[in-house]
């Protein structure tokens, strides 16, 4: 497993204030700026990845070493792939340890907005690193639990973490018994080379999802169900 800890990041203050629905000159905006200043001092976004090779694949299953994944969508997307990159990015456990919100729901919301920007920074840094180091062309990423539950079940976090190794020790990420991750602003998945665009949103029926990045693709859904 390779670990990335020296990840540069900055905060788009105006964008964050807009997301928080705050007027630029308001007292609450000033409180939010105090949180942003603190996060710049304590924040340490991190990422980790490994390089794995597919040993066997069929319509529903991918075998990688002693680990197997069950997902028709994943199997379809990896039909022409041999090498994959299991990965994980996080805002960093330091943000949880330094949280000054003290049960204040509004400040917790603000702190989560900041953590999300740090997660984006970590994930972009990781993606850029992989493309530069391995001279990758077009790629896509799948995440357990993203999209409809049947696409790649969240329970598949367990074998994914088995491939990644001890991420709790290396970057401070813990997988809970319900297969969620802490810190909460953490994402895991598999990056793979592809000739076709793919986003999990294309096979997700949740119309009102605020994180939707692509429209539902009925034709693709029919292929994998």
- Which bin fits 183, alpha (ψ -120 to 50), beta or left (φ > 0)? beta
Q: Read off the pLDDT of residues 183-202 as tens digits, 9 standing for 90 and up.
A: 999 999 999 988 765 555 55
What are the backbone angles phi and psi of residue 152, rounded to the nearest 5°? -150, 95
Q: Domain with 185 in it: what CATH number?
A: 3.40.109.40
Who wins on pLDDT, 186 or 206?
A: 186
What are the φ/ψ torsions at residue 141 (nearest 5 degrees)?
Answer: -135, 140
Specify if 127 maps to a domain. Answer: yes
Whether 225 shows a pLDDT value over 60: the answer reads: no
Strand partners, 124: none
Domain residue limits at 121: 2-199
Give the model's pLDDT for residue 48. Answer: 97
Q: What pLDDT does 212 receive?
A: 46
Q: Is residue 221 part of a domain?
A: no
What sign does the CA torsion over 121, 2, 75, 158 have? negative
Find the mean pLDDT for residues 101-109.
89
Q: Residue 198: its pLDDT value, please?
A: 54
How would DSSP label each residue in 26-88? SHHHHHHHHHHHHHHHH---EEEE--EE--EE-SSEEEETTEEEE-HHHHHHTTT-SEEEEEE
Quick check: 221 pLDDT over 50? no
Percent of the chain with pLDDT over 90: 61
Which range is least confidently modeled, 55-59, 95-99, 125-129, 144-148? Answer: 144-148
What local confidence, expressed as pLDDT, does residue 218 receive?
A: 57
Strand order in the sheet with 56-57: 56-57, 61-64, 67-70
pLDDT of residue 73: 87
The number of folded domains in the chain is 1
CA–CA gap between residue 185 and residue 147 (Å, rounded)? 17
d(CA 47, CA 133): 15
pLDDT at 127 over 70: yes
pLDDT at 64 over 60: yes
Residue 207 belongs to a domain: no
Instruction: Tell me what the mean pLDDT of segment 79-91 comes to.
Output: 93
Task: Please report the pLDDT score of residue 5 as a whole number.
Answer: 94
Supply the pLDDT for residue 196. 64
CA 66 – CA 33 distance, rounded (Å) = 48
The pLDDT of residue 210: 45
| pLDDT on residue 24 | 84
163 within 8 A of 49, measured Cβ to Cβ: no
Kind plus residue range of the DSSP H or E element containing 163? helix 157-164
pLDDT digits (tens, 9 = 90+) for 7-39: 999 999 889 999 999 988 889 999 999 999 999
Kindly state whether residue 164 falls inside one of the protein's structural domains. yes
Residue 179 resides in a domain: yes
């Amino acid at each position: 497993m390779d670990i990335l800890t020296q990840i540069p990041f900055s905060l788009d203050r105006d964008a964050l204030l807009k997301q928080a629905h705050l007027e630029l000159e308001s007292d609450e905006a000033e409180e939010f700026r105090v949180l942003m200043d603190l996060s710049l001092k304590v924040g340490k976004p991190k990422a980790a990845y490994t390089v794995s090779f597919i040993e066997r694949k069929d319509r529903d299953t991918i075998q990688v070493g002693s680990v197997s994944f069950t997902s028709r969508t994943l199997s379809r997307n990896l039909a022409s792939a041999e090498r994959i990159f299991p990965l994980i990015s996080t805002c960093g456990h330091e943000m949880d340890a330094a949280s000054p919100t003290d049960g204040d729901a509004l400040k917790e919301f603000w702190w989560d907005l900041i953590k999300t920007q740090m997660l984006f920074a970590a994930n972009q840094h990781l993606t850029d690193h992989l493309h530069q180091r391995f001279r990758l062309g077009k790629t896509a990423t799948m995440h357990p639990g993203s999209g409809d539950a049947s696409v790649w079940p969240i329970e598949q976090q367990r074998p994914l973490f088995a491939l990644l190794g001890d991420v709790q020790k290396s970057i401070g990420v813990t997988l809970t018994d319900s297969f969620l991750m802490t810190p909460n602003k953490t994402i895991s998945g598999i990056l793979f080379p592809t000739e076709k665009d793919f986003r999990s949103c294309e096979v997700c029926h949740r119309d009102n999802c605020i994180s939707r990045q692509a429209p539902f693709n009925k034709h693709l859904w029919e292929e994998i169900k």
